[in-house]
Amino acid sequence: MSKKSTKKKCIDLYSGIGGWALGFKLCGIEITKSFEWWSDAAITHDINLNLSTDQCNIREQNPKRINEKIDFLVGSPPCTQFSYSNRGGSGNIKDGLKDISKFLEFVKVLKPKYWAMENVPRVANVISRELNTNGFLKEFRDICSNSMIHIYDFSEFGLPQKRKRCI
C-alpha cells in the first residue's frame, strides 16, 4: 500500500507581482489563493505564474469565508506608510497598521501551520510597540511576539544588493 502524497497549500495576501508565490511554486507548494488590489501587479502576477489573483481590497475581505485547510500563509502588506523613502518617513502609520492587522486576522482565523509577513525594517519597531502596549495590535499577542520579528539583509541570501527587510 502506497502512502498518499498530499500537496502542501499556501495563500498569498498582498501578493504584488508574485514573489512569494514564485518561491512557493518552485518548491512544489500549491498557491490556492492570491489577493492583490493593484491591477497592474495582479495582471503581472497572473501572467508570470499562470495563476488567478483575486483582485480586491484585502481590508474588506473576511477570512472566515475561506473554507480550506492551508499549510502556509504569506504576504507583504503595503510598506508605503512605514517606509522612510515615502515622505521622509512621515507616512500614516495608523493606516498602515490596518493592513498589518488584517494580515494577522487572516492568521488567527485560518490557523496555518506556518506564516510569514514581509515589510520594511521600520515595521519591526512599530509592531513591537503595538504588541507591547495597549496598541492597535494587542489582540494578536497570542499569535505574534517580539521573538518572532527579525530583520534580514537579503544580500546575505544571494540578492545582488543590500536590502534589509522585516520578516
**Tell me: the pLDDT tens digits for 68-87?**
999 999 999 999 888 877 66
In residues, how long is the chain?
167
| C-beta of residue 151 within 8 angstroms of C-beta of residue 126 | no
Global pTM exceeds 0.75: yes
Whether 10 sits among the annotated catalytic residues: the reply is no
> According to the model, what pLDDT value does residue 57 have?
95
- Please give the grid coordinates belonging to residue 14: 498582498
| C-beta of residue 25 within 8 angstroms of C-beta of residue 49 | yes
As a whole number of angstroms, the distance between CA 29 and CA 33 comes to 12
CB atoms within 10 A of CB 111: 12
Q: Which ranges of the chain does DSSP label H, i.e. alpha helix?
A: 19-26, 39-49, 93-110, 122-132
| C-beta of residue 71 within 8 angstroms of C-beta of residue 29 | yes
| Mean pLDDT on 7-13 | 97
| C-beta of residue 67 within 8 angstroms of C-beta of residue 81 | no
> Alpha carbon of 10 to those of 22, 32, 120, 127, 138: distances in Å?
11, 6, 22, 24, 26
Active-site pick, 10, 79, 144, 166:
79
Model confidence band, residue 104 (pLDDT cutoffs 50, 70, 90): very high
Decide if pLDDT at 90 tops 80: no
> Alpha carbon of 69 to those of 24, 33, 59: distances in Å?
17, 12, 21
> According to the model, what pLDDT value does residue 83 have?
84
Say which range, 43-47, 65-69, 78-82, 109-113, has the weakest mean pLDDT.
Answer: 78-82
